[in-house]
Amino acid sequence: MGFVGKHFEANGAGMRRQTLNVIENLVFGFGHGKFSVVSQLSFAQLAYWEGSAMAMQHTPLLMSNILDRGAKVAPREEVVTATDNGVRRQTLEETRARAHQLAHALAEAGIGLGDRVATFMWNGSRHLEVYHACAGMGAVLHTLNIRLSDKDLEYIIDHAQDRIIIADADTLPLLEKLNGRMPSVERIVVATEEGFEGWETDLPEPVDYEAFIADRPTLCEWPQIDENSALGLCYTSGTTGNPKGVEYEHRSQYLHTLTQMMTDSMGLSAADTMLGIVPMFHAMGWGLPWSALALGCKQVMPHRFMDPQRLLDLIVSEKVTVSAGVPTIWQGVKAIYEADPGAYDLSNLSRLTCGGSAPPPSLIRWYWDTLGVEMIQGWGMTETSPLATLSRRVMKRSQLSLSEDEQFENVAKAGQLMPGLELDIFDEDFNRLPHDGETVGEILVRGPWICSEYYNNPQPDKFHDGWLITGDVGKIDAEEYLIISDRSKDLVKSGGEWISSVDLENHIVALGGIGQACVVAHPHPKWDERPVALVVLDPGAQVSAETIIEHCGTAFAKWQLPDDVLFVDSIPLTSTGKMDKKIVRADLEAQGYQLPDLRESTG
């Protein structure tokens, strides 16, 4: 039989085929005159290639392989959930046991591999248990956004074909608007918190969460499934048409989780106390529940108590070290702290992650200068799981010698790419553009945790040659920092030139007395569009429109300045906490708003 033949026999058919493929490619695949390549290789070398090709174990990258870890290594660590009159606590060991009980209960209710289990819940320990149970048993977790309209919820539930919905009792009135309009839903499981023990509902087959899992075994043998099996389902809050579903896989989220925990990423640690403010129905809570379960860190969950005062109290009382939320959250916390700085001991807090929209550089600097807290800016979206880039004060060794001001110039950028991903900027013909910090292009990204198509709704115009077309426009500088210019739909096009609404907003907010700023495009018959700034003042502040325009004039050309400044009490937000510029533009149109120069011409 010879050496190679014996080696093939010993190592099995799969390895034999692999090595034979190598030989066939070398001998036959490259045309006449290439046989000498093989003649220079010994059969022993080919056999070595074959054996080494399977030297590592090919363990499937399943979330179930890491989610139980935290409870094993730190069983007494806590999961803390805010309640009406304080908090309730349970250990990671208890959380794991209850998640396994839930998996048994779901299986007894007929939920199998790939079945959709929806949640309509705030951040809390029971929501965490659903995350854990669904991932372990191979069901698909579909996190429903509590803040969506009943029309969007009806579409999403039907499109996903959810079979069971697990809901917090206080959300039942919202869900009941859909009664009779959810044909796929067989049962509602109701999680009860303090003050809602007497819930009643006409929704299908309701059962209390505690009764549902009671007396079930506290250990479930997780199935070994394909690592590319669906893990979760999140829908984007689409600006046009119906929301689009993004299906996450075990493999993609396993890799995303490991990346998120890296030192040069969010730097999460088992020694942290993490306050997850970003809702667990937004892009899987930015992946933080997975990371926390794997690490075994203490978790603090605000449930429905999302006001800045309660969040600040939780940070202090639970000695939170790291937290994550959108800029409006951190602006609210800042305002409360500034009103009475001596009332809050934030000495344990070391870093905040901010995403959803770009935080103003002045906000990033305030947290560092006032509290010594690093604000880590992240860029991503539902389609990117969501972590794509992060910006920290020091991203590489060469920056250690920079002055603090120079370091903060980088923090204001969207950051550098996470390992494992590719990102670039392109022109309208998909030609790559230079990384000179000046050239603006469409941002495209690809990689193992990037969406390749929408769930049961491919939308090929959102993808190109394996790349996700993000809808953001920006530039990349010589240090490979991504700088977001705007959402493509939010840029202001004036006289054939583009004006960044984000740049104007950040500059306006840097002026003292300004709480929020929102810049939108308004139609103009000559210039196509002109920028209009809506401004929310800090309590008691007095800042004139003229002062704001003059302030913008210190950094922007005259043609880039807002044509008008409108003072408002609040700016509408999307379901994900971003400024809803679509609503702002529609409101201005409905009010018959006219730009100042047009008022003069028609007056």
Q: Known catalytic residues?
A: 236, 383, 493, 498
Tokens 């989780």 sit on residue: 257
CB 445 within 8 A of CB 460: no
Would strands 528-537 and 374-380 be described as parallel, antiparallel, or unpaired?
unpaired
Q: Distance from CA of residue 281 to its chain's centroid?
A: 10
CB 577 within 8 A of CB 326: yes
The per-residue DSSP string of 460-529 comes to: GGGEETTEEEEEEEEEE-TT--EEEEEETTT-EEETTEEE-HHHHHHHHHTSTTEEEEEEEEEEETTTEE
Cα 328 to Cα 290: distance, rounded to the nearest angstrom = 24
Please report, for residues 149, 163, 177, the alpha-carbon distance to residue 124 in angstroms, rounded to integers and kept in the order given: 23, 22, 24
Count of Cβ atoms closer than 10 Å to residue 291 Cβ: 25
Would strands 374-380 and 387-391 be described as parallel, antiparallel, or unpaired?
antiparallel
Tokens 């993808």 sit on residue: 463
Contacts of 299 (CB under 8 A, 6+ apart): 78, 79, 80, 128, 273, 274, 276, 289, 292
3-class DSSP assignment, residue 310: helix
Cα 419 to Cα 435: distance, rounded to the nearest angstrom = 19
Contacts of 108 (CB under 8 A, 6+ apart): 216
Please report, for residues 271, 363, 418, 441, 486, the alpha-carbon distance to residue 390 in angstroms, rounded to integers and kept in the order given: 22, 17, 7, 19, 17
8-33 burial: b if 16+ Cβ within 10 Å, else e: beebeeebbeebeebbeebeeeeeee
CB 361 within 8 A of CB 510: yes
Cα 220 to Cα 63: distance, rounded to the nearest angstrom = 15
The pair phi, psi for residue 274, each rounded to 5°, is -105, 125
Residue 35's Cβ-side half-sphere holds a number of Cα atoms within 13 Å equal to: 2
Closest C-alpha among 92, 387, 414, 378 to residue 258: 387
3-class DSSP assignment, residue 534: strand
Beta bridge partners of 516: 536
Please report, for residues 25, 186, 268, the alpha-carbon distance to residue 53 in angstroms, rounded to integers and kept in the order given: 16, 48, 34
